[in-house]
Amino acid sequence: MYRVNEIFYSLQGEGRHTGRAAVFVRFSGCNLRCPFCDTDFAAYKPMAIADIMNAISLWSECGFVVLTGGEPSLQVDDALVEELHRAGFYVAVETNGTHALPDSVDWVTWSPKDGFNDHVPPLALSRIDEVKVVFDGEHNPEHYSSLAVGAYLCLQPCDTGDPDRNRETTRQCVDYILRHPHWHLSLQTHKMIHIQ
For the stretch 18-38, pLDDT in tens is 999 999 999 998 866 666 666
For the stretch 86-102, pLDDT in tens is 999 999 999 999 999 99
Nearest in space to 137 (alpha carbons), one of 99, 85, 100, 176 = 176
3-class SS at 66? Answer: strand
Give dist(CA 95, CA 105) in Å, integer: 12
Q: What order of strands is seen across the sheet that includes strand 64-68? A: 45-47, 2-11, 21-27, 64-68, 90-95, 107-110, 130-135, 152-157, 183-185
* pTM for the full predicted model: 0.93
Check residue 137 and give its pLDDT: 84
Active-site residue set: 24, 30, 34, 37-39, 94, 190
